[in-house]
Structure 1
């Protein structure tokens, strides 16, 4: 038999085999990320001024892999894996976590919404918090003191399941539950979050709720619990709380090149039998911001926030924090940005130290969330940064 008939027979068999299989659209995988590094000046870090390098100020330094596979006209499978790193040293952002920022898999339907499972950000942050100061002022110097209300990307939920609705007439909502994994007590170590958002023309409004439950852990907030949140001098005395609750409402309004925003948050630390404090502690924060695009490459933003703690646990002069934040951007291209950041914070009053009730200390300023481990030794702190960020 000649080779030509043989090739014809093989071609026919291939066509028949392909025709017998259902037609699936091809999936896709995308590599993405940011590299961000800056020179920083802080006038007071535990009593000393400092000039140093810091990463992830405008955008978090990270890389990730995300992908999808169409399963039908409306339904597709999705996943996203994201790792933070320090370009100054090459180190992982969190040792021992391959994808510390998040890692989830799920299904997305254009009509029914999206269901995801894994380590994820909360609806409180994604739908509400993104309308706040971090988006327009950065988390490093623009987050409310110590990121007390979780408007930055500091709160994540392990072993969580999230449902997010499709957008209907400008509205979308989302709910999330994180499993604590404690045998015999489903509530212990668990978390719950819900949020709703409206986007219509120049106006955006978001409201969110978050509740993080501790376990019977008495050394603070159990690191094995589903959710984690930032620690600083603001809340060190309340880390042994039975649960921590966040509630927030935010709004922005755009007029041409000008965007205005207001935000409010309420953070509650509730004591339990294993807590080192006895009375419920509350932090209320009020904020306002403005962002203006002067020209195609240049934009500026500014904001003010006022945070006040409750008079509880023997404290009669409640801690108060006032912060002014500025951000200037010059876009060299769609992917490359030069930036400068400045922030000043003044603290007054008292709060609890790490020993809890009875350990009353002076409130110390902590600019944004860049100084959580390095508060000022006086009542004032100033931080300035100059950096470059590249997205890919």
Structure 2
């Protein structure tokens, strides 16, 4: 009798505990499945038609949760993994959650503080208003995603604070630990950004700095030494031995109606050599861009972007590289979750940049968006077109 009573009490307590947890906690499973048939006019000298995953939006699976702590405060977390829908493989076989993995506290009055592997405030604020805020990074990112306005920069071991929105303003700052004993600044990362929204106008300004004191190159970064990741392509491959890379960018967007939007963006990227770098003078890339969208019907959206990137004349380069890119996008929404999309982009590259050895100037080659980083053109021209389907859940 005593045993049955004890069992009943424990079961009641367990049920009550479960009910309390469910009432206070919410967890959301979300993700994207995206695949397309892609044509590239020139990949290292040959045209190619192939399937590619994550063209309009990256294919991913995520878990996002929160627990109400009372008084307007809550605990939050996000775990997000990228994958290839073509093969089912992880985007990064070395990480269970390569895209995001963080935990923190959020308060409606004081803001949000999080710890883990995270995107920079620079990308969240400026990137949100920049080219890939409306165009896909696959064909709409600035050449090679040189300025990190797409999702190629993620910071390990990072602390992020984001303020609440105050009179239309919101600010955020990040610090990523390099975690090198005896030299805490080696391999660290930092970022800050400010955004302002007023009626139809949105403005953002951001900064990010990545240090690379281990001289292993930006891609792949050694996760045990450096805190940041950064895309590598023929645009910046010659500067992989840089001591640091710094990015400053601004973006503006104007939405006069529900039908159309016009946006402007500008970025400045500085790659600074150290005593062991292969190049000797700072390399600077400036990019100016224009983006626009138009909602033709409730289901059909058209988008376009143009960018011009110019490298500085330094390191023995008298005819610096210039990249012009035109990107177009058309989407048809079957529903809020499912869309058919068409992408077209053309890039022309001229002039010279440093080759992958970091010493010898070479002719600049075209590399559309960031989808062609590993398969650039053999010359200064490249066209990419795609037709695909994306489903979000």
- TM bucket, shorter chain: over 0.9
Q: Secondary structure at the match of 1:228?
A: coil
SS of the residue corresponding to residue 24 of structure 2 reads coil
Contact 1:264 1:284 in 2 (8 A): yes
Which residue of structure 1 aligns with residue 329 of structure 2? 327
Alignment equivalent of 2:217, drawn from 194, 201, 220:
220
Per the alignment, in what secondary structure is the counterpart of residue 58 of structure 1? coil
Q: Which residue does the alignment assign to 2:97? A: 99
Q: Distance in 2 between matches of 1:370 and 1:112?
A: 39
Structure 1 contact 125–151 (Cα < 8 Å) conserved: yes
Q: Which has the larger radius of gyration?
A: 1
- How far did 1:24 drift? 9.5
Count, aligned residues = 380
Aligned to 2:247: 246
Residue matched to 2:72: 74
Shift of 1:25: 4.7
Which residue pairs with 2:46 in the alignment? 48
Tell me if the contact between 1:24 and 1:71 (Cα under 8 Å) persists in the aligned partners. no
Match of 2:350 in 1: 348
Question: C-alpha displacement at 1:23, in angstroms?
Answer: 10
Deviation at 1:49, TM superposition (A): 0.2
Question: Residue 126 of structure 1: SS of its match in structure 2?
Answer: helix
Secondary structure of the residue aligned to 1:351 is strand
Question: Mean alpha-carbon deviation: is it higher for 98-107 or for 199-208?
Answer: 199-208
Q: 1:336 aligns with which of 335, 338, 361?
A: 338
Contact 1:268–1:282 (Cα < 8 Å) also in 2: yes
- State the 1:345 CA deviation: 0.3
Q: Which residues of structure 1 form unaligned runs of 5+? A: none
Bigger CA drift: 373-382 or 154-163? 373-382
Distance in 2 (alpha carbons) for counterparts of 1:169 and 1:274 = 47
- In structure 2, runs of 5+ residues without a counterpart are none
Cα deviation for residue 96 of structure 1 reads 1.5
Structure 1 residue 89, shift from structure 2 partner: 0.5
TM-score by length of 2: 0.93
Residue 261 of structure 1 corresponds to 263
The residue number in structure 2 matching 1:115 is 113
RMSD: 2.0
Q: Where do residues 10-29 of structure 1 align in structure 2 (5 Å cutoff)?
A: 25-29=23-27
Which segments of structure 1 move beyond 6 Å, counting only runs of 4 or more?
none
Q: State how 1:250-329 maps to structure 2 within 5 Å.
A: 250-256=251-257, 257-329=259-331
In the TM superposition, residue 200 of structure 1 has moved relative to its aligned partner by 1.7
8 Å Cα contact 1:25-1:70 kept in structure 2:
no
Partner of 1:30: 28
1:124-135 map, 5 Å: 124-135=122-133
Cα displacement (A) at 1:184: 0.6
SS in structure 1 at match of 2:134: helix
TM-score (norm 1): 0.94
Aligned position for 1:179: 177
